[in-house]
Amino acid sequence: METEHLPHQIVVWVTVERVQQRQALWTYRLFEDKPCSPSYGTIPNRGILPYKFCYSYVELCAWLRLYGFTPPPPDYFAPTRQELDGGAGSILRPVMTRPR
């Protein structure tokens, strides 16, 4: 029996900051590695700056497309009720794609 080999997914991480404020005031940070993980900063550069600061969802989408990712819809980056009730000032979301 043969198993289909699925291509390796590439993951980048987006930190959404200022989530307790209006969405128009949110800022986004795009990271190659998961912030605060043991491997953070140890993976050789894959073409993305260590992190990229974006001041809008539109700017974030432009950078994601530049790096070959399909941007998730805006509500993907919205905080959950639990995150808001917990007083989160920022949240972390993975963005995944498969290599072309």
In a domain, 88, yes or no: yes
In a domain, 24, yes or no: yes
- pLDDT above 80 (res 2): no
pLDDT at 92: 95
In a domain, 63, yes or no: yes
User: What is the domain range of residue 31?
Assistant: 10-97
pLDDT tens string 57-74: 999 999 999 888 889 999
In a domain, 45, yes or no: yes
In a domain, 4, yes or no: no
Q: How many domains in the chain? A: 1
In a domain, 56, yes or no: yes
Helix (H) or strand (E) holding 59: helix 57-66
- Confidence category of residue 52, pLDDT binned at 50, 70, 90: confident
pLDDT tens string 8-46: 678 889 999 999 999 999 999 998 777 654 444 434 455
Phi and psi at 57, nearest 5°, equal -65, -40
The DSSP result for 80-97, as a single string, is PHHHHHTT-SEEEEEEEE
In a domain, 3, yes or no: no
In a domain, 2, yes or no: no
Which of 50 and 42 is assigned the larger pLDDT? 50
